[in-house]
Amino acid sequence: MEYNYKISINYDGGRYEGWQRQKGRLTIQETLEDCIGNICGEKIKVIASGRTDAGVHALEQTANFHAKVKLKKEQFLRECNEKLPEDIRIMTMETVDAKFHSRYDAVEKTYCYTIDLRERPNVFTRRYAYSVREELNVQEMERAAELLTGIHDFRSFTSEKRKEKDTVRNLKSIVMVNTNQYLKLYFRGDGFLYHMVRILAGTLIEIGLGKKIVEEIPEIFQAKNRFRAGFMAPAHGLMLVEVIYETKE
């Protein structure tokens, strides 16, 4: 008999080459698989809701793995978190239906991109916020956000090179929270393309700086050309906040 386990993880992605296992590189997936595999006494494959880039963080990444051993929740969490490095933590674990798949069953994700607005950036948050010292026109950024939300072909907002790949997504909302010290951009959607959130963030920053204008947004969509959108904002300002799954009665 095989069991399917769902886990939620948070991690500081600063020293990792992203989620996906890569030969000769330190990754989140490899670190988790090695740890959980040692506890289970078998080879384990941990499947995430999505692959985060090198340097990207997660407040709540969701993943699942199959194992032949029946695990006790509290014991498993304690053993894992004792063995894992301090920048990765498994927060919850539960046994789920054998068919549950953390990637294919996800219906919505939220990412947050954090911008430090201060002239002298905070030393203690420099690894989690991108510093923009010039004044941003947040009102123009909010106007642009309205045009970016909805169901669109986001080909101009991805580094994905495969032209046959479906690039239509539903970006349900972009919410901006301005504390005068930080500007947080929350992107909520049914799924995101490769580098999509970072390119959206970069485009909004360029609009805030006056390097692009809101009226360009429809043209950027129509062009379906990566070079028409803004720059790709640095990875360290991005965090996966939440993954939502349908509640099955």
C-alpha pair distances (Å), 135 with each of 118, 183, 185, 225, 243? 9, 11, 16, 28, 32
| Residue 211 DSSP label | S
Which residues carry out catalysis?
A: 53
Considering only CA atoms, which of 171, 189, 243, 201 is closest in space to residue 19?
Answer: 243
Give dist(CA 4, CA 26) in Å, integer. Answer: 26
Give dist(CA 145, CA 200) in Å, integer. Answer: 9
Q: Burial, 220: exposed, middle or buried (Cβ in 10 Å; 0-12, 13-18, 19+)?
A: buried
Instruction: Locate 226 and state its tokens.
Output: 């990566």
Q: Do 76 and 93 form a contact (C-beta atoms < 8 A)?
A: yes
Q: Give the H/E segment covering residue 199.
A: helix 196-208
Residue with tokens 């880039």: 53
- For 175-211, give one letter per residue: b (16+ CB within 10 A) or e: ebeeeeebbbbebbbebbbbbbbbbbbbbbbbbbbee
